[in-house]
Chains A and B, each alone.
Chain A
Amino acid sequence: MVSATAPSRPGRALRKLTLTETKMLGRTPAVLLWVVGFPVVGLIVLGLIPAANKPVADFGGISVLQTWLPVIILFSLVMSAVNFLPATLVSYRERGVLRRMSTTPVRPRTLLTAQILLNLAVQITTAVLIVILAVAAFGATIGQPLGFIVAFVLTAAALSALGLLVAAVCFTGKAANAVGAVLFFVLMFFAGLWIPRATMPAVLRDISNLTPGGAGGQAILSATAGTWAPWWYFAVLAGYIAVCGALATRLFRWA
């Protein structure tokens, strides 16, 4: 009846939670389609246009495809961090999953940690897939790998903090989905999904620089072109992490 000698409980519970959440993610094809499928397919479609792979002098010698690389990565990040992460957490709160967990010896924040870890893993896997494909098949370059990693991690963290804030202030799944959808359009607009940043009026570009999509996208783009973006892009991302993270921690309710 009793299983003796178990490893430390918090570690064991976190591992089990992450594993279970991973399995459940595998059973939710919509998430994988939006976070992994569409960005990868988008990249392939773009890559199949011969002109998109050629270096363009106007873009400082990088290809059209490479200018789209940050946008494609941001699409996946925003879907994962601002849409699916909060939707999952809010549904867990709505269904009493978090409340129920708080009657066990394991705190519900362990489930939160598992969800964040899982999302991060999916985001990194997708980004690696996109970069490998872009570099190996479509001639893109990552000129400043360290700068790329720093830019990616800060962008992912800033968007996740924003997603956690959404989960903190939305009390129904419907509200979380609506807020997530609006944020998707706003963030992706300023990241340049519909109007390339280069063709935006100066005002829009200034606003864009203050959004996590705009700042993150610029930091990632500079790294692919071989340089570090100016420090203020990183500062904007750090600001989102600090402010959204602090607000989410303060406002999050378990029931």
Chain B
Amino acid sequence: MPVIEVSRLRKQYGCTVAVDDVSFTVEAGEIFGILGPNGAGKTTTVECVTGLRAPDRGKVRVLGRDPQRDHEELGELVGVQLQDSQLPDKIRVWEALDLYASFYRRPARADELITRLGLAGRRNAFFADLSGGQKQRLSVALALIGNPEVAVLDELTTGLDPNARREVWDLIAEIRSAGVTILLVTHFMEEAERLCDRVAVIDQGRVVANDTPGGLASRAGGEQRIRFRPSAPLNEDMLTALPEVTQVGRDGGHLLVTGNGEALQAIIALLARQGVIAHELRVDQATLDDAYVALTSTPRERN
């Protein structure tokens, strides 16, 4: 049984369709990413999953339960970190965790969480005095204080500096290894690539792709762009003749070769036969970034 099951979800506010038709499933122990540009319908989807909003149409099940009907029961089982959710300025770190622990039947140990999240040195600090990264880590801690089976994390690292972001990523990987299923909403490719087992790309309220990060990237072409400076003049036609190569260009002393996944091997073999060495060799692979841009930036036909 999937941990989260969303099928044909639709939600509109007035005449604005926030979520048009979204379906996906999240299996136990997975980190599942929801990716998409701002206003794509990610947050509304998450709000329907966490029971904060009632869907207009479609089915949402979390651990086999209905987030609307079984709100209280799911409250025990699902930890939620909401985008832009703050705490009162004058609450101390340990007080916030202690308070939220009192909401659950089987809370985690607040002290353990504080240490695990690297907040031990700030346990007496007021919320208002925390840095952005510390606030975010406290927010994650509050999502985990109830010992949840599922954690829903919305725009976890938005507004964090690169160091703080990496810290939070390590933390998420750690949480998953403790057996928690994670639904992660993000608009950072790198984040999805680093953490997610599978991602759904949402654009204009619809799922436009649902795959592993690697699978999505190879869909964007799986092509390689190779750039190097040959140690001796090289006849470009020899490169063009290789079946793996699609295009050859020149940039000053550098050659720019585009080809499929095996292009690099073929070029290196050719160079070796010719006794030429490739200096300043650089290979670029299509990434999730390319896939994302290809999937979301072109205006699509709506049917």
Chain A hits for B88, CB < 8 A: 24, 91-92, 95, 97
Q: Within 8 Å of chain A (Cβ to Cβ): is B169? A: no
Known: A2-B147, A92-B88. A16 touches B98 (CB 8 A): yes
A-B contact pairs, 25 of them (CB 8 A): A1-B109, A1-B147, A2-B147, A13-B102, A15-B102, A17-B99, A20-B91, A20-B95, A20-B99, A23-B95, A24-B88, A27-B90, A27-B126, A91-B88, A92-B88, A97-B85, A99-B82, A99-B85, A100-B80, A100-B82, A103-B82, A104-B104, A105-B103, A105-B104, A255-B52
- Whether B99 and A96, one on each chain, are in contact in the complex, defined by CB atoms closer than 8 angstroms, is no
Those of A22-36 within 8 Å (CB) of chain B: 23-24, 27-28
Known: A24-B88, A95-B87, A97-B86. A104 touches B106 (CB 8 A): no
Q: Within 8 Å of chain B (Cβ to Cβ): is A253? A: no
Chain A hits for B98, CB < 8 A: 16
Please tell me which one of the listed residues A13, A28, A92 contacts residue B103 in the complex, with CB atoms under 8 A apart.
A13
B72 and chain A: residue at smallest CB distance: A105
Chain B hits for A91, CB < 8 A: 88
Interface string of A1-22 (1 = CB under 8 A from B): 1110010010011011100100
- Count, A-B residue pairs, CB within 8 A: 79
Known: A12-B102, A96-B82, A104-B146. A3 touches B87 (CB 8 A): no
Per the bound structure, the CA–CA distance linking A255 and B80 in Å amounts to: 15
Those of B188-238 within 8 Å (CB) of chain A: none
* Closest CB pairs A-B (n = 5): A105-B75, A96-B85, A95-B86, A103-B80, A16-B102
Q: Within 8 Å of chain A (Cβ to Cβ): is B51? A: yes
Please tell me which one of the listed residues A24, A92, A96, A103 contacts residue B75 in the complex, with CB atoms under 8 A apart.
A103
Those of A54-89 within 8 Å (CB) of chain B: none
| Number of A positions contacting B (CB below 8 A) | 29
Chain B hits for A96, CB < 8 A: 82, 84-86
Chain B hits for A113, CB < 8 A: none
A26 and chain B: residue at smallest CB distance: B90
Binding site for A on B (CB under 8 A): 50-52, 72-73, 75-76, 78, 80, 82, 84-88, 90-91, 95, 98-100, 102-109, 112, 126, 142, 146-147
What is the distance, in angstroms, from A158's C-beta to the closest C-beta of chain B?
27
Chain A hits for B106, CB < 8 A: 2-3
What is the distance, in angstroms, from B112's C-beta to the closest C-beta of chain A?
7
Please tell me which one of the listed residues B87, B95, B103, B142 contacts residue A9 in the complex, with CB atoms under 8 A apart.
B103
Please tell me which one of the listed residues A9, A28, A106, A255 contacts residue B90 in the complex, with CB atoms under 8 A apart.
A28
Chain A hits for B82, CB < 8 A: 96, 99-100, 103
Chain A hits for B112, CB < 8 A: 1
B152 and chain A: residue at smallest CB distance: A103
Q: Within 8 Å of chain B (Cβ to Cβ): is A249? A: no
Per the bound structure, the CA–CA distance linking A100 and B51 in Å amounts to: 12
What is the distance, in angstroms, from A183's C-beta to the closest C-beta of chain B?
24
Q: Within 8 Å of chain B (Cβ to Cβ): is A102? A: yes
What is the distance, in angstroms, from B24's C-beta to the closest C-beta of chain A?
20
Chain A hits for B103, CB < 8 A: 9, 13, 101, 104-106
Per the bound structure, the CA–CA distance linking A104 and B97 in Å amounts to: 13
Per the bound structure, the CA–CA distance linking A220 and B297 in Å amounts to: 69
- Whether A24 and B100, one on each chain, are in contact in the complex, defined by CB atoms closer than 8 angstroms, is no
Chain B hits for A16, CB < 8 A: 98-99, 102
- Whether B87 and A24, one on each chain, are in contact in the complex, defined by CB atoms closer than 8 angstroms, is no
Per the bound structure, the CA–CA distance linking A1 and B52 in Å amounts to: 29
What is the distance, in angstroms, from B303's C-beta to the closest C-beta of chain A?
34
